[in-house]
């Protein structure tokens, strides 16, 4: 794991990978799959994320003001499908991390856990924009720390060659994903 | 070319492809490459697009209120690089379409031209949000018509198998792109 310069953090998202959003507030924590995540600015690094108003994640990130964007690889497809198939609100006395055996480690600047074995992580702080949040479920956030797996991202760019099992994923529809493909 | 049901238009963008934004106002028209394009809502279909305030495209879309999102394939990588390397404002007595021999056809609901040989097209009408536009260069738009190349998108989903030359592209950095890869 290597730190990513914040002015290069947009490059983690530039190719449009599907992500996992992690959140925590008090003793509660959650994880959801999200494809509608996009770079918004270079420096300070900003992103947009769409979080439906009915999700448990929405409740936690609005209470805490922070969340993490984790980028899963093709090795983690089954986990991505699992966490996308249920609400953390419906799990009694447990959470999705325990339910599905998802290992995490501590973030640097926020409370949300980061998912082990993902290939990049963006720690984000919400820039309050109540109109966007209420009208469009659209959140704007500043990236306050970023990290990547140095085997596939270094010097500000992805290099998946030789690491097919670490390629990021792109959700098409109904649980079908494409891996990030060949350079062209 | 086949029409795409508007409630399924988000699926054209769900996997995060790099796009070409086309615009027109009066006798002026332009084309720019844009990776920061994202689905925002299902029905009515909405998208977010980041358009820098210094671009010629910004001038045209703010004047006209509409634009098109075109999805290029791997066959069009050189053209994507060309249109991203110069501002249409700097071309005297011509435009990027003429300069680079880019063929177009008429959109259904808007004035912006659609690019021939792309694999999907979303015709968009800006929902005015002056604060987002001024503060973040962020535009929200409703998709008012959508079309796709039926060889690779039909019944609401992508199917690139057997059509490697029609795979969409994902910009990494500095003119390096990855093709949409294998299903996983």
CATH of the domain at A21: 2.30.110.10
The complex's ipTM works out to 0.96
Interatomic CA distance for residues A64 and A56, integer angstroms: 12
Interatomic CA distance for residues B14 and A173, integer angstroms: 8
> How many domains, in total, are found in chain B?
1
Q: How far is CA A19 from the centre of its chain?
A: 4
A residues 94..113 contacting B (CB < 8 A): none
Residue B184 falls inside a structural domain: no
Residue B124 falls inside a structural domain: yes
**For residues B41 and B101, is the Cβ–Cβ distance under 8 A?**
no
- What is the C-alpha radius of gyration for chain B, rounded to an integer number of angstroms? 15
What is the length of chain A?
184
Query: Which residue has tokens 């979080």?
Result: A51
Interatomic CA distance for residues B137 and B125, integer angstroms: 16
Residue B127 falls inside a structural domain: yes
- The residue in chain A having the minimum alpha-carbon distance to the alpha carbon of residue B41 is A136
**For residues B87 and B137, is the Cβ–Cβ distance under 8 A?**
no
**Residue B172 touches chain A, beta carbons under 8 Å:** yes
Token code pair at residue B172:
């990494």
**Residue B130 touches chain A, beta carbons under 8 Å:** no
Residues of A in contact with B177 (CB under 8 A): 183-184
Give the DSSP per-residue string, A21-72.
Answer: EEEEETTEEEEEEES-EEEEETTTTEEEEE--TTSHHHHHHHHHSEEEEEE-
Q: How far is CA B111 from the centre of its chain?
A: 14
Is B171–A74 a contact, with Cβ atoms under 8 angstroms apart? no
pLDDT of residue B86: 86
pLDDT of residue A55: 96
pLDDT of residue A91: 87
Predicted confidence (pLDDT) per residue in A54-89, tens digit? 999 999 999 999 999 999 999 999 999 999 888 999
Residue A117 falls inside a structural domain: yes
Residue A184 falls inside a structural domain: no
The domain in which residue B27 lies consists of 2-179
A93, pLDDT greater than 90: no
- Interior/surface letters A103-128, b for 16+ CB within 10 angstroms, e for the rest: ebeebeebbbbbbeebbbbbbbebbe
Please compute the mean of the pLDDT values over residues B107-135 and round it to a whole number. 98
Q: How far is CA B128 from the centre of its chain?
A: 19
**Residue B50 touches chain A, beta carbons under 8 Å:** yes
Closest residue to B180, CB basis, from A37, A131, A181: A181
Token code pair at residue B161:
């198998």
Residues 6+ apart with CB under 8 A from A127: A46, A140, A141, A142
Q: How far is CA B147 from CA A113, A124, B170, in A?
A: 40, 35, 20
pLDDT of residue B93: 86
pLDDT of residue A59: 97
Is B15–A11 a contact, with Cβ atoms under 8 angstroms apart? no
Nearest residue to A100 via CA among A112, A111, A116: A116
Closest residue to B39, CB basis, from A11, A36, A41: A36
Residue B93 falls inside a structural domain: yes
Predicted confidence (pLDDT) per residue in B24-63, tens digit? 999 999 999 999 999 999 999 999 999 999 999 999 999 9
């Amino acid at each position: 794991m290597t730190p990513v310069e914040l002015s290069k953090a947009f490059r983690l998202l530039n190719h449009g990978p599907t992500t996992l959003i992690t959140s925590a507030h008090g003793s509660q924590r959650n994880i959801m799959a999200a494809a509608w995540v996009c770079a918004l600015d270079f420096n300070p690094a900003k992103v947009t994320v769409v979080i439906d108003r009915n999700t448990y994640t929405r409740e936690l990130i609005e209470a805490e003001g922070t969340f993490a964007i984790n980028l899963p690889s093709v090795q983690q497809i089954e986990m991505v499908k699992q966490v996308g198939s249920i609400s953390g609100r419906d799990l009694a006395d447990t959470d999705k991390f325990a339910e599905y055996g998802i290992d995490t480690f501590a973030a640097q600047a926020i409370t949300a856990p980061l998912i082990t074995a993902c290939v990049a992580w963006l720690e984000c702080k919400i820039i309050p924009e109540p109109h966007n949040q209420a009208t469009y479920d659209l959140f704007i956030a500043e990236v306050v720390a970023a990290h990547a797996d140095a085997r596939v991202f270094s010097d500000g760019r992805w290099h998946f060659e030789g690491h097919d099992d670490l390629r990021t994923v792109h959700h098409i529809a109904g649980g079908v994903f494409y891996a990030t493909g060949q350079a062209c």
